[in-house]
Structures are given as C-alpha cells and as structure tokens.
Structure 1
C-alpha cells in the first residue's frame, strides 16, 4: 500500500472564497483517507505481496499444469519485462519507520522481519533478471533518482547479512518474550516460526548458488555447514507444522480454483506430462490425489485405481493439438473435487519438504557430512503426509528400487532434484523453475506450444521503465552481464 497525500484546491468562482489566513496544512488534508499507516497494516500488505499463489502462470511455466484454451492462457515462454519490487520495498522501509514512531526500540519485531523481506524481494528480482539497483535504490530523499546497479553477487552477500541479522535479533526478541507483532496473517505473530523460515530461506539461497560453491567470498559450504550444525542458534523447520504458508478460508480469501469459476475453467485446464507422467512412471500415490483419470482411458476399460489411466499433456504441444486431444478425452484434468473448493489446501511459501531436499542435496554435493538418504526420505514422506497418504503407502513407495536413493552420487543427486520438483507442486512460486534452470532436472518439455524457438528461457528482460528512467545505468549493467543485450535466453552470473 502506497501512502500519498492528495492536494485538493477548490478554486471557486461562484460564492466560495478562500481567505489568505487559512492554514495550508488544513487545506491539503483529505478527511476520507488515512494520512499514515500503522506498521501492522503495512506488514499485512507486504505479506500479501510475498505470497505466491498456486494455479497461476508461474505454475504453468513450472510445467505442472496446462491450459488447453487460448482465451485463458498458453504455455508460451515468450517473456518480456519482469516486474520490480520497489513499491513493496518502499513499504518495508516505511514499516520500519512507522514502528519506531510508535515508540518501539530500533531493534523490534517489525525491523527484524523487514530484513527478511528485504532479502527476499531483492533476491526475487535478481533471480528473474540479473543485476539490479539495490544500494542506491529508494534514495530519492538523498537526491538519487537514477540508482546504479549492484551485481548478483553483491545482492546475495547483502541478503546473507540481512538474514543473519534477522536471525540474531529474533533470538533476542523471543528470549525477551516480545509479542509486539500484529498484522501477521501468515504465522499469527509466532516469532520462532519466522526464525525457522529465515534460516530455511538462507539454505535455499545457498543451494541456488551451487555453481559458485568455490567462491571464497560467498563461503557457501561454510555458511551451510554452520547453519546446519548449530540448531540452537539457527533453528529450522522440523515438520510440515513449521511451514510458512498461506491458508485459505471461504469468507475473505477463497482458494484460486473454486466453485465460482468451475464452469469457466474446469475443462480448460489439464495436467502437464512433465509432472503427472513422472508420478505415473514412479507408481506414485500422489497421482490419484492431484488428477482425474483421462476419460478415454476409463472408456477403454481402465479404472481410476490404474496408474495407466492418468496422462498429462506435453507443455510443448501446440494448443490446437492439445485442445483436440482433450476433447477426445485423452488427457487427465486437474482433480476437480479436490481443487475446486473455497477452502483449498494451504500454499507453502517456505517449507519443511524443500528444506529436507536442500539438505539432502548439500550432503550429496559434499558440502556437509550426513546421510543424504535420510533427508531424501524425509522430504518424500513430508510431501506425501501433506496429502494424507498413509504411512504404509509411503513406506511401500520408498521401498521401490526406482525410489531408493542410489549409491552413485550423480544418480542420487538427480533423484533428489526430481523428488524436490514433485514436492514443489503448486507451492513455493518460482522455485521449481529456478531449480530446473540450475540443474536441468527434470527435463522440461518444449515444442510449438512453448514458443521461444523451443527453448526454456533463462531470465526476464528488464522492464521498460528502466529503459526509460535509468537508461545509462541499465546499459552499463547489460554491457557487464550480457554484452549489451537484454535477451531472455542469456545466462546470468548465478548460472555460470
């Protein structure tokens, strides 16, 4: 929420006059609008901006589902300019200011969460575009209207500083039993929950930097090992109950797919082969929970209990072909009785399942000592538990030779990454794409339907506002990163 004053000057020519002695400050006030916001109100707005919904375009680009009807969406990766987060970052800055105005000390709950959110929103931009303005951003009060760009490495280093400071401050606030946080609809003021999310997010960023593991300044292996080795200092989520997630209710925030839009969209969205066919090939019980069987398969004599009855469409298929095959009943729809509800399942933003797979990956890469299979199994179990799959069914799945973690390090890493992809289904925003972009797992399907010359892009372009308002600094950043081009298929620093 952006706070603006409206100056309304009524220049009357018919019987209304303004005397010179009237107070100008009185004239500029609009009694129907608030002139300031509490830190709690700003926090609510920031959390809404932080939330990444399920069943949106990002999840199509993650290749979890497909649109078979052009009016609503396509699978095309024809990306242009990415969005900037500076309005939200300005609200974070304002939240810090308003918290101190209420009399809270400099180190307070809002200031600590502000550090987490600053890390998140700056990293969010750099992960999508590359170098971004950071150190000189939001400095118009100091006369800086055209901020310089910081490198991706500088953004990550600053993010680690903010996250470690937030963790330290939250430890002190929890010890002091500080309960001065309101406006927090994600965790309802539970500071230990926020501290666990901060540290889990830090491990996520370290995993994103796997290609830079030898960088002496980033200290990726050291940071990961220190965090994992000291749970008293760096508490981490221990189960799905520690998830930082968005919970839906039927009154104020309905699940994105719900009975109100069932008639318009239920048959125009189907499952993606990248996701669903992987479940089928692995005899995964999540198959029966997330999808309906393909009608043609049932007509041919299969039952909803048969894995072979479930078929996803390639995201690369042309929309005409996909639509034709959907009309013939060849593809599985989204499990309509599960997902078309007002009270849908919570949408995890930072969670336990991802954490388990990140730890398994770090062990597999040799960053830390430990049993990769233990965390791999915990990640699979945690995901299946969130679907209420029985313990017996989970254990039977884990016992399959194709699921048991391989002794070969390269094969084991592929298994970990694939299961992390399955665990991200309709959760955590861009994370499935970011992990695929970094590792190539799973292989995303391409073709006429994905456009972009059948390539998966590596980034967004910078928004047109930067070309207009900050052209000189943008051109320097493009020269430094991409030989002057702003191409969605060029690899940014983090991928090299």
Structure 2
C-alpha cells in the first residue's frame, strides 16, 4: 500500500512540473516548491500487511512457506534495520505546508506520526538519534538518545497530539481530513487511534512499570479514566484497517493470481495447537482440515471440519525436507480456502479494537487502571471472534467454558495467549513484539532455524559505522558494554 502512495505522490509532482526555459524565469511557477499536506499525510500513513505477507506473521509462527523447490527451514538470522528519517523529514515538510495553507490539523497529527516512527526505530534497534537528528549539514553525526528518553519524548508527543486534536475538533466541528485512507477524513477516528496506539506503547513498557520518569500507570489511568478527553475505540468499526478488492493494486497478497501461495503456505503448529488446546472455533474459520483427515472420512466433510483433531500445523523447527514430505503426504492444514483464496481475503489491520481491549485487560490485571480485567478480556476475545464471523453467543460460550479469565500469573499468561490468537495474520509485527516481551507463546527453534533463542533486536544500519562511527560505537558500549552490534543483545526495553 505504501508503494502505491509513494508512486502517486511522485507522479503528482512530476505531472505538475513544466519544461519552461530556465533563463525565462528564475522561479518556475509550474514547478511546485510545495506539496499539499494531504499528499504528505497519505504517504506517511502506515499501511498494514495483508494475510500471509511479509516476515512478521511467519516469524510469529502463524504460517510458513513449504515449497517443493525450497526445502529449507525458516531462518531467524535477522538483518539490519533502517532509520526512518525520510519519514521524519516528510513530517517536518507537512508541518511547513500545513502552516502555509492554514491547515493546522496536519501538524497536530504529525506529532502522532513522529512518535510512531521513532518508536518503530527504537523498539527494533535500541538507542537512536532523536534530539540531534534532522539537522542535516549542521550536524551530520548526531549523538544517540537513550531508548528511555526516546519513549518519554514519544509518549509526550502522543499526549500532545490527542489533546490538540480534541481541541481542534471542538473548535472545528464537521471538518474532515483530506488524504485519509482509513477513515475518510473523520478526525474523531484518528483521535481514537492515537489513544489506542498510546495504550499499545504503554503496555510494551510493562517491564518498566515502576520507573517514575515514565509514569506508565499514571499515563494509562489518565487515558482510561477520562473518555471525553481521551476517546478510545468502541467496536471493530473503529479499526484502522484496509479492505481489499479485485482491482489491480488493491488485491490481497494471497490470491488466485499467485497460485504458488496456495501450494506453499501452510499453518504452523505453534498457532494451530493453541487453537486446539482451547477448542477454539476460530480454528475452523481460518484453516482447512488436513487432506489426510478428509480422506479418512469421505462423504462427511462437515463432520471432519467440526473435529478439532482434523487440523495440524507444520513444525517450524523441523528440517525443511521433512516438512516438505509431510506436506505432500497431506499432514498439514492450509489456510481456509473459502475465506482466503480470493482477491479480498480479510481486512488488513494496522491498529484494532480487539488489541486495545486485551491491552486494557492486561493494564487492569496489573492494577494500572480501575477496571474489571475480565470485562476487557471478554470484549477483546469477542471482538476477535466477530472479526472472523463468529457470533457473540459463540464467543460467550467459548469464554465461559474453554478460556475463562484467571487471576494471578496464570491469568496474565492467558491474556497473552489470547492476544497471540487475536493477532494472527494482522497488525504486522505486533505479535512478534508481544512474544518478545512476554515469552508467550513458546516459539520452536532448532539448529535448522540458525538460532537457539528468539532474536531480540535488529542491528543498526551498516552506514552508521561509516558515517557516524564514534556515536554509533559509543551507543553500543553504553547499552551492551562492548562494541558488539548483535541480535541477541538485550536492549533497555526488555530488561
């Protein structure tokens, strides 16, 4: 989605340019020196990954690729991350353009985007340049800010964005936002997303809940206890999600134009076995029975589909040749053909209601907010089941008989298990980051995956050692005690 928005922005700029003789005019009036803030806003808006696309869902062990000509186990040898300073520059440009055309709402939401992109960088790598970044030639070698200070600044930006947007909405009732791909310009929807995202960030900082500088409990309590000031998502209708359709540029990844997907994408037992453990009806919505199960009971497909034992996932840690052989022998479940094997699939969620409710359940469970954790736990599960077309009655029966809320450490584990199930094939890397923080579920590893534990960070861009060597190496020593830039080094966030 991002690629199409970037192409659109580039074409817009090209098509509005002219070929007037440079000598005729010192400034070409047809060559834009400015860009409408709405175009910058569209380009900056993150686009979620569709089902069975990208590495995020595979590394979270929902599905894997088992192709006959590629019989190797998935490798967890993460590469290097990249800095998103091009996006930050565009946010600065959007500020400038919003002032030029007197559209301050873009600058207000710009603070949300700043927080988002800095958080995305820091949670992958650790310390990053922030306070000295974006100064160009004035400071080409910026010092690194501590991860803690990046989070504090980002949380402050988020709070400022929410409060300023709320005030703007009150002063400008009915105004809409051009360039909005999620909510057709509804500003209140964006305010809700800002707060749902803030809750996501606060939950990700759970290991730092006693850090007074962060004030995690206070921030969470202020959001939850003041709904008029901090509105939240109230249903699936509030999701920041994109729907697909059978048009070029708008088709989901897993579709009939990509026949190799149908033959190669299989589910992983980490995911399938958790659904089976809880006798979870979402299993039948997302997966097809194994071919062996169908062959064992010909003419009675309905009974086979209703039997939890009819489903099985591949072992992510197994030898590639073994998994390939088992797949060809009909031992694994594929994605549900009726639901996914088309051009529409399911909406791709960026930030969603089910996640928010389960995050609130965790916050209540930890005592950060005055709320019944079972209430938000149930709402989160019900929302996830509704997303898959299951009824509130089915969700209620499931919660009461198969996965009731529990107190204590077991209850926190159960919230995280339900979060894992609700994140399946949506919300990009959120499931992986949740597991990195909590250890739930237990991923499978072996020498086949080239690791013996979950990698916890990406390395910095290699250019940092060339262009900003002193600050880069100082940041490594400050964080990890040596100049080793390694995937297994534990960043502040996870200590």
Taking structure 1 as the reference length, the TM-score comes to 0.90
Aligned counterpart, 2:169: 174
Aligned counterpart, 1:451: 450
Q: How does 1:91-490 map to 2 (within 5 A)?
A: 91-104=90-103, 108-140=104-136, 143-175=138-170, 176-177=172-173, 179=175, 181-251=177-247, 252-261=249-258, 263-301=259-297, 303-400=304-401, 402-407=402-407, 409-452=408-451, 454-483=452-481, 484-490=483-489
Partner Cα separation in structure 1 for residue 23 and residue 360 of structure 2? 66
Partner Cα separation in structure 2 for residue 73 and residue 94 of structure 1? 45
Contact 2:289 2:333 in 1 (8 A): yes
Greater Cα shift, 376-385 or 296-305: 296-305
Deviation, structure 1 residue 182: 0.4
Aligned counterpart, 2:59: 61
Give the aligned CA root-mean-square deviation in angstroms.
2.2
SS at match of 1:399: helix
Partner Cα separation in structure 1 for residue 174 and residue 462 of structure 2? 44
Contact 2:176 2:187 in 1 (8 A): no
CA change 1:470–1:30 in 2 (3 A) is: farther
Deviation, structure 1 residue 380: 0.6
Contact 1:318 1:448 in 2 (8 A): no
SS at match of 1:90: helix
Deviation, structure 1 residue 344: 2.4
Contact 1:54 1:347 in 2 (8 A): yes
CA change 1:74–1:91 in 2 (3 A) is: farther
Partner Cα separation in structure 2 for residue 114 and residue 218 of structure 1? 22
Partner Cα separation in structure 1 for residue 47 and residue 115 of structure 2? 12
Contact 1:203 1:358 in 2 (8 A): yes
CA change 1:476–1:232 in 2 (3 A) is: same
Partner Cα separation in structure 1 for residue 311 and residue 29 of structure 2? 59
Contact 1:54 1:429 in 2 (8 A): no
Partner Cα separation in structure 2 for residue 137 and residue 318 of structure 1? 45
SS at match of 1:187: coil
- Deviation by residue 1:275-302 (Cα, 9 ceiling, x = unmatched): 1111112111110111111111222337
- Deviation by residue 1:105-158 (Cα, 9 ceiling, x = unmatched): xxx2101111111100100010111011111211116x1111111111111111
Contact 2:251 2:344 in 1 (8 A): yes
CA change 1:469–1:421 in 2 (3 A) is: same
Contact 1:460 1:488 in 2 (8 A): yes
SS at match of 1:254: coil
Contact 2:287 2:335 in 1 (8 A): yes
- Deviation by residue 1:419-460 (Cα, 9 ceiling, x = unmatched): 0110011111111111111111111111234222x2210000
Greater Cα shift, 297-306 or 86-95: 297-306
Partner Cα separation in structure 2 for residue 368 and residue 83 of structure 1? 36
Contact 1:361 1:416 in 2 (8 A): yes
CA change 1:247–1:35 in 2 (3 A) is: farther
Contact 1:359 1:375 in 2 (8 A): yes
- Deviation by residue 1:230-265 (Cα, 9 ceiling, x = unmatched): 11111101111111112223224111211211x222
Deviation, structure 1 residue 72: 10
Partner Cα separation in structure 2 for residue 235 and residue 275 of structure 1? 33
- Deviation by residue 1:71-110 (Cα, 9 ceiling, x = unmatched): 5995211012112211122111111111112233xxx210
Contact 1:352 1:382 in 2 (8 A): yes
Partner Cα separation in structure 1 for residue 73 and residue 469 of structure 2? 32
Contact 1:315 1:449 in 2 (8 A): no
Unmatched tracts of structure 1, length 5 or more: 11-18
CA change 1:404–1:103 in 2 (3 A) is: closer
Contact 2:76 2:455 in 1 (8 A): yes
Contact 2:73 2:317 in 1 (8 A): no
Deviation, structure 1 residue 23: 5.1
Contact 1:109 1:180 in 2 (8 A): no
How many equivalent pairs are there?
A: 471
SS at match of 1:270: strand
Deviation, structure 1 residue 340: 2.2
SS at match of 1:338: helix
Taking structure 2 as the reference length, the TM-score comes to 0.90
- Deviation by residue 1:314-347 (Cα, 9 ceiling, x = unmatched): 2111211111110111111111231122222211
SS at match of 1:406: coil
- Deviation by residue 1:209-228 (Cα, 9 ceiling, x = unmatched): 11111111101111111111
